[in-house]
Amino acid sequence: MPLFGNTFSPKKTPPRKSASLSNLHNLDRSTREVELGLDYGTPTMNLAGQSLKFENGQWIADMGLSGGVDRREAQRLRRRNQQLEEENNLLRLKVDILLDMCQRPWVSGSCILPSSLRPPPSPT
């Protein structure tokens, strides 16, 4: 153990092995893609029986495989459904008003109906 000497002496590193023994790096791009499987295609997934594919930054329903409805069509159907529900509510309100209008004259005894539908006058 030297007094003023360096006690640290690392082992000599072994020489590196040769690069790659494979010749795949010499192949052209298309052959390399076929050999290494780098052609992934569009990402697809299946959620609850609905097949989706990723295109232009958005997940779109794949029409061919599952027969699903695409996003724009679903949005159009939702708008149409809401429109029909509003129309249905308006028609229900009109029917309620007409029934109410028709019941009031019956109570007072002066309903405007054709004579064939009018009840006979009560003998008083």
Residue 33 lies in a domain: yes
Range of the domain at 102: 69-108
pLDDT of 63 > 80? The answer is no
Residues 41 and 60 in one domain: yes
pTM higher than 0.85: no
pLDDT of 94 > 90? The answer is yes
By the 8 A CB rule, do 48 and 33 touch?
no
* pLDDT, mean over the chain: 76
Q: What is the three-class DSSP state of 111?
A: coil
**Residue 85's pLDDT is what?**
97
Across 67-72, average pLDDT: 66
Report pLDDT digits (tens) over 16-43. 776 666 776 677 777 777 777 766 778 8
By the 8 A CB rule, do 122 and 109 touch?
no
Residue 57 lies in a domain: yes
DSSP state of 14: P
